[in-house]
Chains A and B, each alone.
Chain A
Amino acid sequence: MPPLENVLVVSAILFSIGVYGVLTRRNAVNILMSVELMLNAVSINMVAFAVYGRVAFDNTFTGIIFAFFIVVVAAAEVALALGIVVRLFRNRATANVDEVNLLKW
């Protein structure tokens, strides 16, 4: 088994990549992908803690359960967000978030 630190570092790297993607990408679907990256990084973290800290957390695999919930919620979120994106594309003929700048003064 790899040491806990390495798992955490890997997930941190993945998370930072996701943040970068969210900040830079223009396409809404692409931003969603980056969000997925971040979510997965988080759930890796949780699973790692749950697995390594089993004894400490007396076998209530909280982290793993959270990872489940994250997966489920991510599915829901993706379904809704993609619906929104498609609707947006129908109305504005674009999926680029920075071309949709109606949200201003």
Chain B
Amino acid sequence: MSATEVVFYIISFVMVAGGLGVVLSRNIVHSALALIMSLGAVAGIYVILTVEFLALAQLVVYGGAVIMLMLFALMLTRARERPQALFGKNRPVALAVAGGLLTAFVAGILGTEWAQSNRDEIEPVPFEEIGDVLFSVWAVPFEVVSVVLVIAMAGAILLSQPDEGER
């Protein structure tokens, strides 16, 4: 068991813990912070999978923007001022569903014979190659995604405009 593997297990433990924090914590802001932890751990997993560029993008987008947006939303919606039940009624069902999904996944994963599971062949992925592929093979989806982003920005601006009579 190599050092990276140990680090991987540690990071994945952090990730799962963060996820559990997101789902279980009584305080919404706490769960947001837990989400940061979890996503950072995801970035760490990317690093371990030798995709640093993706990891950094993850950090920039999530750690920078998404989490800030979420915290803003929490502030704007007064998550703290109104203490209330954070969980809906259908907890047991959800638990059952999630557990069933998990068992199904794990069964499927462990039940399958993975061709590439041999860990010695893995060499780090240079991000230049990723860039080449992204802008050659995936150029059109890239443009489409940029359009999607523009549309989303317009929509967000429109939505967050104050109503008439405000201001």
Is any CB of A less than 8 Å from a CB of B in the complex? Answer: yes
> Secondary structure at chain B's binding surface: helix, strand, loop or mixed?
helix
A47 and B28 within 8 A (CB): no
- Could you tell me which residues of chain A, from 37 to 89, have a CB within 8 Å of some CB in chain B? 37, 40, 43-44, 47-48, 50-56, 59-61, 64-65, 67-69, 71-80, 82-87, 89
Q: Which of B16, B49, B87, B117 contacts A13 (CB under 8 A)?
A: B16
What distance in Å separates the Cβ of B72 from its nearest Cβ neighbour in chain A?
A: 7
Contact flags A9-23 to B (C-beta < 8 A → 1, else 0)? 110111111111101
Residues of B within 8 A of A43 (CB): 42
Instruction: Give the nearest-CB partner of B144 in chain A.
Output: A69
A51 and B149 within 8 A (CB): no
Number of A-B residue pairs with CB-CB distance less than 8 Å in the complex they form:
254
Q: Which of B9, B99, B159 contacts A86 (CB under 8 A)?
A: B159
**Count, chain B residues at interface, CB 8 A:** 88
What distance in Å separates the Cβ of A66 from its nearest Cβ neighbour in chain B?
A: 9
What distance in Å separates the Cβ of A10 from its nearest Cβ neighbour in chain B?
A: 4
**Count, chain A residues at interface, CB 8 A:** 73
A12 and B141 within 8 A (CB): no
What distance in Å separates the Cβ of B42 from its nearest Cβ neighbour in chain A?
A: 5
- Could you tell me which residues of chain B, from 8 to 36, have a CB within 8 Å of some CB in chain A? 8-9, 12, 15-16, 19-20, 22-23, 28, 31-32, 35
A29 and B97 within 8 A (CB): no
Residues of B within 8 A of A55 (CB): 116, 121
What distance in Å separates the Cβ of B88 from its nearest Cβ neighbour in chain A?
A: 5
A50 to B46, CA, bound (A): 12
